Amino acid sequence: MTKHTTHSTNGDGRPNCLKCRHYAVTWETKYPYSCKLLGFKTASVPSVVAYKSTGKECEGYEPKDPRKKSPNPKDKGDSVIITIRNRQ
């Protein structure tokens, strides 16, 4: 595991899960956040749960690949507009 660096923190010394490649959002309303590396879902920020469970800061932080961007939900790709005329 790669130990996180100071530029990846939230300012409190803990890794910023939002910038980690292992962070994920789930569909579960009770447990909306997930750490794919450590294999758990949580209602809180995964790095906080990892710290509370082990007493150590998460050492699995890896920055997301900046070349891989998540798809823009507003971008529908090539759109086709169809006009329906009311026949009378």
Predicted pLDDT at 8:
62
Which residues, in sequence order, are CB contacts of 32 under 8 Å at separation 6+?
25, 26, 41, 43
Q: What local confidence, expressed as pLDDT, does residue 13 receive? A: 73
Task: Write down the pLDDT at residue 20.
Answer: 94
pLDDT at 14: 78
pLDDT value at position 7? 43
Give Cα separations from 6 to 35, 50, 70 (angstroms). Answer: 20, 18, 24
pLDDT 10s per residue in the chain (88 long)? 555 544 466 667 778 999 999 999 999 999 999 999 999 999 999 999 999 999 988 889 999 988 776 665 555 555 566 667 776 6
Tokens describing residue 87: 């026949």
Q: What pLDDT is recorded for position 74?
A: 57
**Residue 77 one-letter amino acid:** G
The DSSP annotation for 12-80 comes to SSSB-GGGBTTEEE-S-SS--EEETTTTEEESS-HHHHHHHHHSS------BPPTT-PPPPTT--SS--
